[in-house]
Amino acid sequence: MPQSASGRAHDAVLRHIEESLRSGKLRLGDRLPGERALAEQFGISRGSVRGAIRSLEVMGVVRSATGSGPNSGTVIVSDPSSALGGALRMHVASHRLPLKDVVEARIMMETWSLEHAAVAPWDEEQLDDARRLLEAMDDDALSPEVFTLLDAQFHVALSSLAGNAVVSTMMDSMRGAISEFIDEAVTSRGTWDQMVHVLREHHRGIFEAVEARDGELAARLVHEHIDWFYRHAS
């Protein structure tokens, strides 16, 4: 099949799945028909179907697994932060997106989130997610890599209290995009033992401000926290 025709066949499958998701014909957890069925439905090659499925996997829309068990097949999952994080990570690695700009964008979104969390209708159970992560980070036996993973989850948990799914997804994506920089920074320096104590202190202050619904203080503290970390990690 000529490449232009193959591309149109690929796009036809993507448009069909997009329309099915929008209309509700397909929902999270549903399985797509097999390659052969989709190829017959669209009158295209199975190779074109596979290309479309791969694109959907990269976009975080589906998960594919081979075999014949209950977890096999192509399932609608919708994991936007994974897809966006992967794309951002590649562009940061290529230096097309400077790390400094990603950090500034993160500060803008996270300060906005904590300001809005002060008046958002979250409950104590939602805040407990961040509280458990805060307590887990007090374990002195944690490696730097595990600590920074919990740290990332803590920031996303607090930001999600604002109730904006797009901002929460972008926050998660940006943390993923710069995770390698963070891991390298904390493991290549001999000052981690001193840094981790400061990070814990910062986290407690941010958490307490959020818990008190003091959005202005929470936003200021998280700005200072992120700025402090990147100055010491760079």
Q: What would the pLDDT profile of 75-130 be if each residue is shown by its tens digit?
A: 998 888 878 888 888 888 888 888 889 889 999 999 999 999 999 999 999 999 99
Q: What's the CA gap between 68 and 65, in Å, rounded?
A: 9
What is the reported pTM? 0.79
DSSP annotation string for 152-185: HHHHHHHHGGG--HHHHHHHHHHHHHTHHHHHHH
Q: Which of 17, 19, 56 is nearest to 38 (CA)?
A: 17
201 against 181, higher pLDDT = 201
> Domains (ranges, CATH) in the chain?
3-76 (1.10.10.10), 81-233 (1.20.120.530)
Return the DSSP state at 97. S
